[in-house]
Amino acid sequence: MPLSPSVQENGHPRPGRVVDPYGIACSYSGSEITHPVLEVALPLVVQRRALPAESRSGSPTANYDGAMLSPSSSAASDLMPRLVLLHAMTERGHLSAAAEAVGVPQPTATRWLTALSRTVGVALTQRVGRRIELTRAGVALAEAVGSAHTTLAMGVARAHEAADPGRGQIVFGFLRTLGASRAPELLRAYRATRPRVRLALVQAAHEELIEKLHDGTIDVAMSSVRTSDVDIVATELFKEPFVLVVPADHRLARRESVRLYDCRDETFVGLSVGIALRRKVDELFGAARVRPRYGFETEEVETVRGLATAGVGVAVLPARHGGSLAGSVEVPIVPRHHRNIGLLVSTRRPLEPTAEGFRLWASQHAWTRSLQPRRTSGPV
């Protein structure tokens, strides 16, 4: 598509705007043009073609239909998929995975990158051993493409929101331990106020939720609030007190509260090493100067709770929302310790309007409250 900026007599365009083949308005001044999607300044090439000496008004014409963006016009018209491939290499780490993500065979992906380097005018990839990696120039361009993709995705989301307010989609992640009651309660209350919003749910461990927030797989996560999480902003929703879970006939079951030091000779059941909640529990033991003796370890919180209820051992866990399991007692631990639960978002990616609205709603909703540590017992 030809672009037609007005020009001065010396052949340089006056400051103004042109439109690239995708209909994106670009500002230009002097010999550079700024593309808002690629977010870079590019050279403006003005090609003079044969023009009538005089226009009908008798004045020299100042319309250069041959003016065009270089290289942004070709990138916009037929190289955009190749730019997406370039960005995919930064996320996937190597060419074969990037090609699979984009949906093209690897030989095609190789040709795309070669053509893209030729269009841009610098080498974007290099061979290192048997691998093809991005050069510094390739990384720089890929970062710009990533920003452009995010900006366009946000624009599409806002367009849908403007066309049909109250509609949208949220990908909501949450800890498995919150799937029994807490997450469903929140989602049910939200659905009552926004019935047309689609909700996609993802259950995962804390570390996996953080990764998914950063890579954009999920929008918002309901998980533990930790100051150690990088580039994460959390809105606290409630606190879960830690309790000692024992069978109803245990010697500590009638206590109003218990110190971990009083449990030093007990056999414990707990989560496997490496799980975030296990690390938190181990910190509590360390503060109490207790070295727990684990008889059983598992990856599921409810399995730990069930084993403790059966008398296999005792367990230190966050209080169960709705009360303890039948046949068990949850005794508050002193000094009081809590697990803070909140809504987490990544600062590396902007939230789409629907997801941002959900975050604000949840932070202000009366549903958000703290559980008070108290002794609870289920039916025997």
pLDDT of residue 69: 39
Pick the CATH number of 77-162 from 1.10.10.10, 3.40.50.150, 3.40.50.2300, 3.60.15.10: 1.10.10.10
pLDDT of residue 349: 86
Mean pLDDT for the chain? Answer: 77
Question: Which residue intervals of 194-291 are DSSP H helices?
Answer: 206-215, 276-287
> In whole angstroms, what is the distance from residue 254 CA to residue 268 CA?
19
Q: Which of 78, 89, 212 is nearest to 146 (CA)?
A: 89
pLDDT of residue 305: 93
Structure tokens at 54: 């005089």
Tens digits of residue pLDDT in 233-286 = 999 998 999 999 999 999 999 999 999 999 999 999 999 998 889 999 999 999
- Answer whether CATH 2.40.50.140 is correct for domain 241-337: no
Q: What residue spans define the domains of the chain?
A: 16-70, 77-162, 173-236+340-364, 241-337
Structure tokens at 151: 């900006």
> In whole angstroms, what is the distance from residue 294 CA to residue 271 CA?
10
Structure tokens at 261: 């030091």
Q: Which of the residues in the chain have pLDDT under 70?
A: 1-79, 150-151, 153-155, 157-158, 160-161, 165, 366-380
Tens digits of residue pLDDT in 121-162 = 889 888 888 888 888 898 888 888 877 776 676 667 667 667
pLDDT of residue 262: 92
CB–CB of 172/222 below 8 Å?
yes
- Are 77-162 and 241-337 equal in CATH topology? no
Question: Which residue intervals of the chain are DSSP H helices?
Answer: 72-74, 80-92, 95-102, 106-120, 136-163, 182-193, 206-215, 276-287, 301-309, 353-364
pLDDT of residue 285: 95
pLDDT of residue 62: 33
CA distances from 166 to 49, 159, 370 (A): 52, 12, 30
> In whole angstroms, what is the distance from residue 376 CA to residue 256 CA?
10
Q: In the structure, how many helices (H) and strands (E) does the chain have?
A: 10, 17
pLDDT of residue 158: 66
- What is the architecture, at CATH level 2, of domain 173-236+340-364? 3-Layer(aba) Sandwich (3.40)
